Structure formats: structure tokens, C-alpha cells
């Protein structure tokens, strides 16, 4: 009460005393070096003794934080992601039954829970503990694996984490300084060659694996697009952790994301996870399933603004080469003889092959067909003939309309990525003493940004739009003729023996011989300069829709072509071999 000096941090006079006798400001929690003068008359009569308290030797561990493990952090991330998927319409069973069981199986396989910890790992930890300094441990602490369980209705997790706390929590202070979690530093030092180490991209692999098991109508490309758009937590997801779970040092290296998820990485990790967990055969992908090529082709034909009649041709190609069979589409973990199916990429490749069959896409034939269709449409309009099947499909007109829309969307996407804030909006502070200082600095930054925004006249960031399965939308009600769904393919088809066949008798292959995918990483090499511009444009269109590199779609196109023309290719290769001899 007698100390009336103002706080150097907030200029308030509102002092309190710590247990060690130190002074701190109750307004901003600033601690100063001044200590209380203690009057002690127990051993000296009628005399006043002044002592200076040095405070407690042992500071409160983690300054109010709780002990937590890296696997518990990833469990929180999975919980947030699956809750976001539920908000998008995914069946609640995915969280409580599918993903929860996958995660428990992983914890058991990686010996993090549901098992007895190996003796070698315990000895290694105890050997580290022998050189540690005095740090209090609490073996009775309840495991966060129970508190943060994916399924709230489940019982206690039978883990050995609580019994392992007393040993791991004694790791030297030099280790705990570099991470807020108990095992953050050890997690990165462990030799994880024999098992899959959990990472942020692997959380997406877990979610996609559960989506595939449930046969939900979400493809991997669409799932990753929702992640990039912020509908599913991924970037700075650690800001949703409880305040007592302190993150610092190596924890940020584990949970902080500085790049967008890559399709191939998430896809390959999902297959590795399925094999690692020894999962059985996934539920069958039948013709009525959304992931079947016939169903996905409808979606991508609509989004690419192509005629509806093309779907009959995509179905014929799918049936011809057998890529619609249940055994081909259904995932069988650990079976190396079967090819890993990318359902969305496969459907896009089928459409491209059909376009090559009908329009050739050699920068010459498709423009001739377009001129013919334009002339027929003009003549029919002049004489006011209303013929069935709609107007003839003009490739040139379609190219101009789609390219304009695609350029606008691509520019908008590039701007959004450039404006992306990689740093989290919620300030992170690792000390109670620095909390008020960090919050004040953050508030100052926000105020300055608002002031400069008003001066420069910049538009405030719009509210995040609702997620949509379609990036490009086309309405048949438009009078400008920008929708081609109802257009006819009469200009490129002819009837032969009661069947509609393509007027185009030719076809060019992307490659004559496929590469070894395991050695090269691709079935064929794609270079833009080596292929016609029409083919490159169609490839780029689906590359934008799927947010994937064109080379991966090109691989699927080559695979389909070799299945479709297998006999002719075999005869040609055999004939060339004979000529060489």
C-alpha cells in the first residue's frame, strides 16, 4: 500500500505481491525487481530486521501450462478437421467410428498408446533422465488422450502415457526449453524409418482415407481445395489449441505449415497409411458411387462447359478398357500388383481422350470442324429452323468463352494466394509475463492496419464464401450463348451400321511407349512445346479444376490410350522390331 510508483509498462498504480515477496502490476502483470521488506521479531526482541527474498527456486513448470504430447496435438488437429467436414455435410459416423478407429490403430502400431512401451525405448528415456535437473513431475496427471478424445462418448483410453509421464517429464531443462510439449525434441530426434512419423500433411491423409472408406462424394482434389480456401483447418490450426498447451521451439516446426498441401504427397501417404495399419479391403466402388468414372465425368463435363452428349462417349471408353470395374476401382491396401487409382484425375483423363477421339486436338482438325459448325448454325438461324439436339457445338467459340472465364478465375486465385497471411491472427505468447505486451503489440498492429487501410481507400476483406463443388458455373438460361451443355455433336459424328461413330478416322498418341512409373515417377514425360496448343489448353483447364500439375493428368491420358489401343500398339511395336532385324 505504501508503494505509489507508477508501473513502467502501463502507468497504473495497482501493485500486488507474489509468493516470493516480489512486486507485480495487477493491470499488466509486469514484474519488477523490488521486493517486500519483512519484519521478523521471532529471534530478536525490539529490533527490526530487513531481509530480501530471492523467491522460489523452482518456478511453476511451463508457467501455468500443462504437460502434453505431440500425438495429442495431432489428435486435436484431426478433431478440428473432421468437425469441419461434418459441417460440410459428411456423415457423423466418420468421426466417431471410422477416423477414431484409424487413429487408435495408428497410435498402437506406432507404439504411442494402447500397448506396453518397448523396454529399449524406456531405457533410452531413463538414461536421458539421469542427467536432468530438478523438475517436478506429476504421475497422477490424467492423459490428454482421454480429455481430447475424438469421440466424446468413448471411455478411458487404455494408454501407458500417464505412467510414462514421470519419466519423460524429467527430461533435462535443456530439452524442455526448445519445445512446449513433453516429447517435442525427442519426437524429431527419433529414428522413424521403421514407422510413419505423423506430420501435418498426414492429417489430411487420415481424413481422405476416412472419406474414401465412407465413399463420401468428395474427391481428393476437392478436399484439398476446401483446405486451401480455409473451410477445413490446416494453416495455423495450432491457434485453436487450448491456452494451457504451450507451443514453442520445435513444436512450431512440427505444427506450423508454410506451404499448401500437395496432391501427390497426401495421396501417397494415404496409401502408405492404409498398408501400415493393415486395413482390409475398402468398401466397393460401384456404378452408383460418386467416385465411379461415369459419375465423375458428368460433374467435370458440366464444370468444363462441354456438351452433355459427350457422356455417352466417356461411358463407352470406360466400359471398353475396364476402368469401371469394381476390382479396379476399390482400394486393397498392401496389394502392390494393383494400380493406385486417382478417381478425379482418371475421370478428367477419360474426357480428354474422348475429345481427342472426336476433335483430334492437333491445332488443325478441330478448327475446321468449328468453321463447319459455325456455318451450319448461321444458316439454321437465318432460316429460323428449330432442330432437335440444339445448335452444333463450336470448338472455337467454346475455347474463347472458357479461356476468358479461366483467365479471370486464375487471376483471382493468384491474388488470393498473394494476400494469404501465413502468420496466425491469434498472437502466440509463451510466457504469462509477456502476455500483455504481446496483446498490446498485436492490437497496435491491427489499429495501424485499419488506419492505413482507410487512408489508402483499400477495400476490406470480404467474408469467406460458402464452399461449392463447382469452381466454374454455367447456366443454360444465359442468352449470350456461353453455355454449351445442350449443344449437339452432329457436326463431328456419322452413323455407320446403326451406330454413331466419329467422322475423324485418325488419332495421335501422346507416347508410343510408357515409362516405368516406379523409376521415373511418371508414365510419360510432358513438355508443353512438344504437344499441340489445343491439347495443352484442355490439359490446363482440368489442371486448374483439380489443382494438380498437368503432367499427372497427362500420365493418366497415356495410360488410357495404351489400354484403348493395346492391340494396335502391340502390332506396331512387333512390326518395327521385325524391320530392325
C-alpha cell at 25: 502490476
Instruction: Please say whether the dihedral angle defined by the alpha carbons of residues 496, 500, 502 and 505, taken in this order, is positive or negative.
Output: negative
In sequence order, what are the beta bridge partners of 392?
488
Mind listing the pLDDT tens digit for each residue in 365-377?
Answer: 999 999 999 998 8
The pLDDT of 346-352, averaged and rounded, is 97
* pLDDT at residue 521 in the model: 66
Mind listing the pLDDT tens digit for each residue in 55-105?
Answer: 443 344 455 567 888 899 999 999 999 999 999 999 999 998 999 999 999
Angle between helices 263-276 and 220-228 (to 10 degrees): 120
The Cα 313–Cα 161 span in angstroms is 57
The Cα 519–Cα 499 span in angstroms is 43
Mind listing the pLDDT tens digit for each residue in 522-554?
Answer: 778 888 888 999 999 999 999 999 999 999 999
Q: Check pLDDT > 50 for residue 133.
A: no
Q: Is 493 helix (H, G, I), strand (E, B) or coil?
A: strand
C-alpha cell at 79: 478433431
Angle between helices 263-276 and 200-214 (to 10 degrees): 70
Q: 332 versus 573: which is more confidently predicted?
A: 332
* pLDDT at residue 172 in the model: 37
Residue entry with cell 500425438: 71
In this prediction, residue 517 has a pLDDT band, given cuts at 50, 70 and 90, of low
C-alpha cell at 460: 476490406
* pLDDT at residue 45 in the model: 46
Q: Is 314 helix (H, G, I), strand (E, B) or coil?
A: helix
Mind listing the pLDDT tens digit for each residue in 448-491?
Answer: 877 777 776 655 555 677 888 889 888 776 666 689 998 999 88
* pLDDT at residue 523 in the model: 78
* pLDDT at residue 73 in the model: 92
The Cα 555–Cα 552 span in angstroms is 5
The pLDDT of 201-224, averaged and rounded, is 96
Instruction: Please say whether the dihedral angle defined by the alpha carbons of residues 146, 149, 153 and 157, taken in this order, is positive or negative.
Output: negative
For residue 395, with 0-12 CB atoms within 10 Å meaning exposed, 13-18 middle and 19 or more buried, which class applies? buried
* pLDDT at residue 19 in the model: 66
C-alpha cell at 334: 498392401
Q: Check pLDDT > 50 for residue 575.
A: no
* pLDDT at residue 345 in the model: 97
* pLDDT at residue 525 in the model: 81
* pLDDT at residue 307 in the model: 94
Cα angle value 221/226/230 (rounded, 5°): 145
Question: Are 471 and 64 in contact, with CB atoms under 8 Å apart?
Answer: no
Q: 495 versus 434: which is more confidently predicted?
A: 495
Tell me, rounded to whole angstroms, the distance of Cα 384 from its chain centroid: 52
In sequence order, what are the beta bridge partners of 16?
24
Mind listing the pLDDT tens digit for each residue in 173-198?
Answer: 434 445 677 887 777 776 555 568 89
C-alpha cell at 121: 525405448
Say how many residues make up the chain: 581
Question: Are 484 and 472 in contact, with CB atoms under 8 Å apart?
Answer: no
Domain ranges of the chain: 1-36, 68-113+196-279, 285-417+481-570
Average pLDDT of the chain is 78
Mind listing the pLDDT tens digit for each residue in 7-57?
Answer: 877 778 888 877 667 787 877 767 787 766 654 444 444 444 444 444 443
Render the burial of 418-448: b for 16+ CB within 10 Å, e for the rest.
Answer: eeeeeeeeeebbbeeeebbbeeeeeeeeeee
* pLDDT at residue 57 in the model: 39
Amino acid at each position: 500500500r505504501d508503494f505509489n510508483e507508477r508501473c513502467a509498462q502501463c502507468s497504473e498504480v495497482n501493485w500486488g505481491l507474489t509468493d516470493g515477496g516480489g512486486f507485480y502490476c495487477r493491470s499488466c502483470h509486469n514484474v519488477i525487481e523490488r521486493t517486500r521488506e519483512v519484519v521478523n521479531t521471532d529471534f530478536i526482541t525490539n529490533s527490526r530486521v530487513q531481509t530480501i527474498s530471492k523467491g522460489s527456486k523452482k518456478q511453476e513448470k511451463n508457467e501455468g501450462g500443462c504437460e502434453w504430447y505431440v500425438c495429442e496435438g495431432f489428435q486435436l488437429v484431426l478433431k478440428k478437421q473432421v468437425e469441419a467436414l461434418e459441417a460440410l455435410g459428411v456423415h457423423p459416423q466418420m468421426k466417431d467410428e471410422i477416423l477414431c478407429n484409424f487413429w487408435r490403430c495408428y497410435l498402437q502400431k506406432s507404439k504411442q498408446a494402447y500397448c506396453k512401451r518397448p523396454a529399449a525405448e524406456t531405457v533410452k528415456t531413463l538414461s536421458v533422465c539421469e542427467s536432468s535437473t530438478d523438475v517436478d513431475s506429476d504421475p497422477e496427471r490424467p492423459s490428454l488422450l482421454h480429455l481430447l478424445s475424438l469421440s466424446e462418448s468413448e471411455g478411458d483410453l487404455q494408454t501407458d502415457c500417464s505412467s510414462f509421464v514421470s519419466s519423460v517429464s524429467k527430461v533435462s531443462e535443456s530439452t524442455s526449453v526448445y519445445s512446449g510439449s513433453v516429447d517435442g525434441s525427442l519426437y524429431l530426434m527419433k529414428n522413424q524409418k521403421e514407422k510413419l512419423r505423423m506430420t501435418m500433411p498426414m492429417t489430411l491423409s487420415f481424413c481422405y482415407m476416412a472419406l474414401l472408406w465412407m465413399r463420401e462424394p468428395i474427391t481428393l482434389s476437392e478436399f484439398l481445395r476446401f483446405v486451401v480456401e480455409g473451410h477445413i483447418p490446416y494453416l495455423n490450426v495450432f491457434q485453436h489449441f487450448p491456452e494451457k498447451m504451450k507451443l514453442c521451439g520445435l513444436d512450431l516446426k512440427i505444427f506450423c505449415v508454410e506451404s499448401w498441401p500437395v496432391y501427390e504427397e497426401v495421396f501417397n501417404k494415404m496409401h502408405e497409411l492404409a498398408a501400415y495399419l493393415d486395413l482390409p479391403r475398402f468398401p466397393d466402388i460401384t456404378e452408383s458411387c460418386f467416385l465411379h468414372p461415369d459419375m465423375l465425368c458428368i460433374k467435370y463435363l458440366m464444370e468444363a462447359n462441354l456438351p452433355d452428349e459427350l457422356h455417352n462417349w466417356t461411358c463407352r471408353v470406360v466400359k471398353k478398357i475396364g476402368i469401371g470395374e469394381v476390382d479396379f476401382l476399390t482400394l486393397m491396401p498392401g496389394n502392390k500388383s494393383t494400380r493406385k487409382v486417382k478417381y478425379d484425375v482418371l475421370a478428367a483423363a477419360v474426357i480428354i481422350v474422348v475429345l481427342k477421339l472426336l476433335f483430334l486436338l492437333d491445332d488443325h482438325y478441330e478448327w475446321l470442324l468449328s468453321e463447319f459448325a459455325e456455318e451450319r448454325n448461321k444458316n439454321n438461324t437465318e432460316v429460323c429452323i428449330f432442330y432437335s439436339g440444339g445448335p452444333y457445338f463450336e470448338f472455337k467459340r467454346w475455347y474463347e468463352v472458357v479461356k476468358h472465364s479461366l483467365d479471370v478465375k486464375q487471376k483471382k486465385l493468384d491474388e488470393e494466394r498473394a494476400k494469404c497471411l501465413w502468420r496466425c491472427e491469434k498472437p502466440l505468447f509463451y510466457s504469462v509475463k509477456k502476455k500483455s505486451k504481446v496483446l498490446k503489440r498485436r492490437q497496435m498492429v491491427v489499429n495501424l492496419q485499419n488506419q492505413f487501410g482507410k487512408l489508402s481507400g483499400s477495400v476490406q476483406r470480404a467474408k469467406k464464401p460458402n464452399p461449392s463443388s463447382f469452381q466454374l458455373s454455367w447456366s443454360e438460361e444465359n442468352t449470350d450463348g456461353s453455355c454449351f451443355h445442350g449443344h449437339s455433336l452432329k457436326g463431328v459424328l456419322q452413323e455407320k451400321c446403326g451406330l454413331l461413330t466419329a467422322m475423324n478416322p485418325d488419332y495421335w498418341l501422346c507416347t508410343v511407349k510408357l515409362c516405368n512409373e516406379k523409376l521415373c515417377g511418371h508414365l510419360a514425360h510432358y513438355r508443353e512445346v512438344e504437344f499441340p496448343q489445343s491439347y495443352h489448353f484442355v490439359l490446363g483447364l482440368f489442371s486448374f479444376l483439380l489443382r494438380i500439375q498437368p503432367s499427372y493428368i497427362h500420365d493418366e491420358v497415356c495410360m488410357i490410350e495404351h489400354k484403348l489401343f493395346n492391340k494396335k500398339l502391340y502390332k506396331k511395336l512387333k512390326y518395327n522390331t521385325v524391320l530392325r532385324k
